[in-house]
Chains A and B, each alone.
Chain A
Amino acid sequence: DQQVKQNSPSLSVQEGRISILNCDYTNSMFDYFLWYKKYPAEGPTFLISISSIKDKNEDGRFTVFLNKSAKHLSLHIVPSQPGDSAVYFCAAKRWEKLTFGTGTRLTIIP
């Protein structure tokens, strides 16, 4: 049972445009959500997070939106840069454990 889903395995965006990555979850007990970025053969690096009591968190070019009623979160990257090309994972926390989605491969086209 996949509790955290990223339904788009890949996404291509023109450099300078907005990238929107989506994530859906099923467990309403998740209380914290995180986005990670991963390059091939490396460990994921933390990008941005949001508590379940908020609906938006912004950090530079990255903004995460949370819609609790829809059990949906999204990561907006604007403007998109070539260095943003990577696999992005969303993760949801319950107690001390994180549950990860399957990832979306973002490709920024110069």
Chain B
Amino acid sequence: DGGITQSPKYLFRKEGQNVTLSCEQNLNHDAMYWYRQDPGQGLRLIYYSQIVNDFQKGDIAEGYSVSREKKESFPLTVTSAQKNPTAFYLCASSSGHSSYEQYFGPGTRLTVT
């Protein structure tokens, strides 16, 4: 059963702590993406990776970091430098070739207090 998994569904952290969100896909997709969604706003691109061991900043990369050591995995770390970390985080993947559709995971709701 192919798809994208994000864990956990809900995450709570204290201000000043780094936190890592997991994203795994078994679709054999080359490209992976991280977005955040805030109430009343669209999805905004944080980071993306077109291939293993390579990634690029999106539109709102400040305060975030990523790694892409394996094709299947693209974890996102929300650092203490991120001023407004509370949001709904979505991971996506795409084959990156002739298909432009991105397939999304179920999301992680991060709450920082």
Contact = CB atoms under 8 A, between A and B. Distances in A.
Contacts of A102: 40-42
A41 interface: yes
Main SS at interface, chain B: strand
Interface string A31-49: 0101010000111111001
A43 B100 contact: no
Interface in B94-110: 96, 100-107, 109
B42 A101 contact: yes
Given A42-B106, A98-B102, A103 B42 contact: yes
A93 B100 contact: yes
A67 to B, nearest CB: 20
A89 B104 CA distance: 13
20 contacts: A6-B42, A9-B40, A41-B88, A41-B106, A41-B109, A42-B106, A43-B4, A43-B104, A43-B105, A44-B90, A44-B104, A45-B104, A46-B101, A46-B102, A49-B101, A93-B100, A96-B48, A97-B45, A98-B33, A100-B42
Interface of A: 4, 6, 9, 32, 34, 36, 41-46, 49, 89, 91, 93, 96-103
